[in-house]
Amino acid sequence: MTPAAGTTPRTTLVRTKAELRTHRAALRGSVALVPTMGALHDGHLALVARARELCDHVILSDFVNPLQFGPGEDYEAYPRDLEADLAAVDGLVDLVFAPSVEEMYPVLPPTVSVTAGAAGTILEGAARPGHFDGVVTVVTKLLQLTTPDVAVFGRKDAQQLAIIQALVADLDLPVRIEPVEIQREPSGLARSSRNVYLSDAGRERALVLSRTLAAARAAAPSNAALRAVLHDALQRAEIDWAYALALDPATLEEIDAAHRGEVLVTLVGRIEGVRLLDAAVVVVTEA
């Protein structure tokens, strides 16, 4: 549900778990959670817009989670601007939960945490060991703290979305996960907080990701043509590819020649030291 015409919710910043619980208890009606690491852009605002369509109230979390960063990654340099984030969502969400690390994790690393299982050790999990354990731990905490009816996530981080869907199903968490399509810049580049690290030339080079996805969509419904598009992209090496894969969305395993049905095309590469992701779901119906 959306607020009545002419009304907007009052946005309140809360910094502690105790404050969050107090304000959450006062909300009447359905509640959506939009988990973020801040540095909000139009992609995040699309998640907020979808949340407002679905529920009476929206809580946005703004927290750079140290558990999902490994040694040598960009945790300290990750963009943070809470003032700008608050301005971006003022009047669009009821609560912004922006805790300190010490508030979120009184003991670091936590004595008890959540693991992502085998799905968290492949693809991005292989490149970033422990990353998805950190993701599912913080998501579990946020879901427990906010008790939402719906939690909204973007499709760009396709492996993350699949793992969070499995988390909710496996642990019987009473929340519905709502995926939202990838939001893009006018050039076609998928919106990401890390895009700020790219030069103009880097942004231009990064368009190989969206061009490859467009070619993959055009190749479907042919299984062979789709896989050929991804093979050719890797051979051209226009960027420093980590992988360009066609996966079964349910298992995150590479499809074979016999696969029919939905296929998750997931692309990851580095440009100017920045790891960029893009993804799309296509349907294969023929060899």
269-278 pLDDT, tens digit each: 999 999 999 9
Residues 169 and 215 in one domain: no
Catalytic residue among 41, 44, 131, 259: 44
Total number of domains constituting the chain = 2
Residues 152 and 264 in one domain: no
122-148 pLDDT, tens digit each: 999 999 999 999 999 999 999 999 999
Residues 28 and 139 in one domain: yes
What is the rounded CA–CA span in Å between residue 16 and residue 239? 42
Residues 61 and 134 in one domain: yes
The beta-carbon contacts of 116-122 under 8 Å, at least 24 apart in sequence, are 116/163, 116/167, 117/166, 119/159, 119/162, 119/163, 119/166, 119/252, 120/163, 122/252
Residues 49 and 82 in one domain: yes
Whether 5 is covered by a domain: the verdict is no
- Return per-residue pLDDT of the chain as tens, 287 residues: 444 444 455 899 999 999 999 999 999 999 999 999 999 999 999 999 999 999 999 999 999 999 999 998 889 989 999 999 999 999 999 999 999 999 999 999 999 999 999 999 999 999 999 999 999 999 999 999 999 999 999 999 999 999 999 999 999 999 999 999 999 999 999 999 889 999 999 999 999 999 999 999 999 999 999 999 999 999 998 899 999 999 998 889 999 999 999 999 999 999 999 999 999 999 999 98
**Residue 44 catalytic?**
yes
Whether 188 is covered by a domain: the verdict is no
Structural domain that includes position 260: 193-284
- For the beta carbon of residue 271, count every other beta carbon within 10 angstroms: 21
Whether 4 is covered by a domain: the verdict is no
What is the rounded CA–CA span in Å between residue 224 and residue 222? 6
- Dig out the tokens for 258 from the structure: 């016999």
Residues 147 and 272 in one domain: no
Distance from chain centroid for Cα 5: 30
142: exposed, middle or buried (C-beta count within 10 Å: 0-12, 13-18, 19+)?
buried
- For the beta carbon of residue 202, count every other beta carbon within 10 angstroms: 16
Residues 58 and 139 in one domain: yes
